[in-house]
Amino acid sequence: MLKLYGYWRSSAAYRVRIALNLKGLAYRQVPVHLLKDGGQQHGAEYRALNPQELVPLLVDEVNGGARISQSLAILEYLDEVFPVPTLLPADPVERAQVRSLALHIACEIHPLNNLRVLQYLTGELGIGDEAKSAWYRHWVAQGLAALEQGLETLGDKLSLTNRPGYLEACLVPQVYNARRFACDLAAYPRILEMVARCETLPAFQQAAPEVQPDAR
C-alpha cells in the first residue's frame, strides 16, 4: 500500500495526488495539518519521518516502507516503479524540456511563496499583508511569464495536453495557488488552456484540494 502524507492545500502534495490518480494507483492519505499546533510538519512525530519538515512524503509499504520526500522525486519514483502510463515523454529531448518547465515551477516559483517563507516575511521581518501579497504575485507573474513563453517555444512538440503527466501535475496546482492569491492570469493563455483541459479529467478533479478528506 502507498501512503501519502500531505495537506489538502499543499500544492506539492497536490502534484503527487494527480500523479497517483493518473496512474490509477490506490493510496491512503495521512493528513499533516500545516497550520494546527504550530504546524504538524514541525512536530517530533512527523520530523522523525521527514526531517525536511515539508509535505508531501510518500511511504511505499510494499517496498520495505521506503520513505520518499520531495514531490518530483516521488513523481520519478512512481514512474520507475509503475511505468504505465508514463508521466514523462519517451523522447530524451522532450523529457528534458518537460522536466525543465516542471522544475521552473517547483524550484523557481513555488519555494519563494511557500508557507514558511510567507510566515518569515510577516513574522520575523514584520511585512504587512499587502506587501506579502505583492511579493507573492511578483514571483508568480515572473515565473508564469517565463513558462508561458516556454510553452509557446515548444508549441506542438509538447503533445502533452492529450496525455497529461509530469508537467501538468506541477502546473495545475501552481495555477490553483495563483488563483487563491488573486493573481492576474490573463497574460498566460497557453497555461490557462492547458489547465482548463486538465480540469475536465477525473484524475485532476479527484486530486483537487477541496475534495480531499482533510479539507475543512
List contacts with ligand GSH (CB under 6 A): 10-12, 34, 39, 41, 54-56, 70-72, 106, 114-116
Which is nearer to ligand GSH, 3 or 116 (by Cβ)?
Answer: 116
Q: Hey, which residues does 118 pair with through a beta bridge?
A: none
> Which residue sits closest to ligand GSH, CB atoms considered?
116
Closest listed residue to residue 170, CA positions, set 151, 145, 195:
195
Which is nearer to ligand GSH, 53 or 84 (by Cβ)?
Answer: 53
User: Is 100 strand, coil or helix?
Assistant: helix
The least CB distance from residue 147 to ligand GSH, in Å, is 16
Question: What's the one-letter identity of residue 140?
Answer: V
Task: Give 3-state DSSP helix, strand, coil % of the chain, rounded to 5.
Answer: 60, 10, 30
At 91, list the grid cell. 523522447
Which is nearer to ligand GSH, 28 or 120 (by Cβ)?
Answer: 120
C-alpha–C-alpha distance, residues 164 and 190, integer Å = 14
C-alpha–C-alpha distance, residues 119 and 97, integer Å = 33
Closest listed residue to residue 14, CA positions, set 194, 186, 214:
214
Which is nearer to ligand GSH, 75 or 90 (by Cβ)?
Answer: 75
The least CB distance from residue 32 to ligand GSH, in Å, is 8
- H/E run at residue 154: helix 129-154
The least CB distance from residue 54 to ligand GSH, in Å, is 4
Which is nearer to ligand GSH, 38 or 92 (by Cβ)?
Answer: 38
Which is nearer to ligand GSH, 39 or 43 (by Cβ)?
Answer: 39
C-alpha–C-alpha distance, residues 95 and 76, integer Å = 12
